[in-house]
Amino acid sequence: MNDFSDEGIKQAASAAVSGDKDIRERMRDLTLTAIKQRRMESGEVKNVVKALTEGITLGLDKRAHDSKQALAQAFAGLDAALMKSAEATHLALQQLTEHSNDFSKQDIKAALDNLKEVEQNFLSTVSEVANKSSARIKAEVDDLLTHARRTGTDTGRQVSTTLAAFSQQIHGVAHDTKAASTDAVHTLSSRFTLLAAGILEGIAQALRDKK
Over residues 125-158, the pLDDT tens digits come to 999 999 999 999 999 999 999 999 999 999 999 9
What pLDDT was estimated at residue 171? 61
Would you call 144 exposed, middle or buried from its count of C-beta atoms within 10 A (0-12, 13-18, 19+)? buried
The per-residue pLDDT of the chain, averaged, comes to 86
The mean pLDDT value for 97-106 works out to 77
Q: Could you tell me where the DSSP H helices lie in 19-134? A: 23-38, 42-61, 67-99, 105-130
> What mean pLDDT is predicted for residues 46-54?
96
Residue range 174-206, pLDDT digits in tens: 444 444 443 444 456 778 888 888 999 999 888
Buried b (16+ CB within 10 A) or exposed e, 166-188: beeebeeeeeeeeebeeeeebeb
pLDDT at 87 over 90: yes
Instruction: Inform me whether the pLDDT recorded for 118 exceeds 50.
Output: yes
Closest by CA position to 171, among listed 100, 126, 83, 106 = 106
Q: Count other C-beta atoms under 10 Å from residue 91's C-beta.
A: 18
Instruction: State the pTM of this model.
Output: 0.87
Q: What is the mean pLDDT of residues 56-72?
A: 88
Residue 40 confidence (pLDDT) above 70: yes
Q: Are 102 and 44 in contact (CB under 8 A)?
A: no
